[in-house]
Amino acid sequence: MSKVSEILSGRKPRTKTVRLVLNGDSQHELELAKNELRNLKLQERIDGKDETLSSKIPTKERQILELEATVVANAVEFTFQAVGRATLERLKALCAPSEAQWLRYREQAKANPSTNPPMFDWESLAPLLIAASATEPTMSEEEALALWDGLSDGESAQLYEAAWGVSNEAASVPLVATGIGGIGSSDESSTTQQVKESLGLSIPDEF
């Protein structure tokens, strides 16, 4: 076995798990309880009440802990595994930039000539990449599309961020001391930057 074959055979693709709170009722109840706690603390400070004497704060704090435990227990986990570069490029090739993306690019290029042209339609790519990289639960492209269309913008964006990020980030160990140079110190790829700009959402910088 060649050295390259040995490296590839021993490779274990990165994985990433995100947890979505899809029970809006329990999340809303938790937010209400937190607001009530803030109001209680404010009112008791105004009244000059000693929190150790007949305070409602400890009871409300216990309620919040119980609600948080319920929210966590009911969260849905999605785990994604990095796909190979060839697979990712094949999926990109299936998703040509939309006319709306080209129009937006032309408008942006007028103000900033260095703007990168769109390389693919991220909204078409998203469910395909989610399906290709999801390991728990596994899903077909049709199921991923139903999930993508059925979730809110924020929820679906979290899934896409995880699926995109796990295949586009690399774990590395610096060759020399931080600040001098090391593996993975190259500039962000134009493709990654385009996805971040297209989404218009808070994708972490490491993606």
pLDDT at 186 over 60: no
How many Cα atoms sit within 13 Å of 172 on the Cβ side?
14
The residues, any chain, with a CB within 8 Å of residue 201's CB and separated by 6 or more, are 153, 154, 157, 161
**pLDDT tens-digit profile of 64-87?**
898 888 878 888 999 999 999 999
DSSP state of 56: S
More confident residue, 172 or 68: 68
Q: If you average pLDDT over residues 30-41, what whole number do you get? A: 89
pLDDT band at 107 (very low <50, low <70, confident <90, very high): very high
Q: Are 108 and 80 in contact (CB under 8 A)?
A: no
The residues, any chain, with a CB within 8 Å of residue 30's CB and separated by 6 or more, are 64, 67, 68, 71
- The pTM for the full model equals 0.66
Q: If you average pLDDT over residues 80-104, what whole number do you get? A: 94
Strand partners, 5: none
Q: Which of 24, 17, 13 is nearest to 159 (CA)?
A: 17
Rounded to the nearest integer, the mean pLDDT of the chain is 81
Q: Is cis: bond before 174, omega within 30 of 0?
A: no
Residue at token pair 């709306």: 100
Residue at token pair 């021993």: 10
DSSP state of 114: T
Radius of gyration of the CA atoms of the chain, in A: 23
**pLDDT tens-digit profile of 43-57?**
888 877 665 556 788
Category of 184 on φ-ψ map: left (φ > 0), alpha (ψ -120 to 50) or beta: left
Q: Are 159 and 125 in contact (CB under 8 A)?
A: no
Q: If you average pLDDT over residues 147-157, what whole number do you get? A: 92
Per domain, the residue ranges of the chain are 1-19+79-172+181-207, 23-74
Q: How many angstroms separate the most distant Cα atoms in the chain?
A: 77
More confident residue, 123 or 169: 123
pLDDT at 164 over 50: yes
Q: Are 181 and 169 in contact (CB under 8 A)?
A: no
Please tell me the predicted confidence (pLDDT) of residue 135. Answer: 96
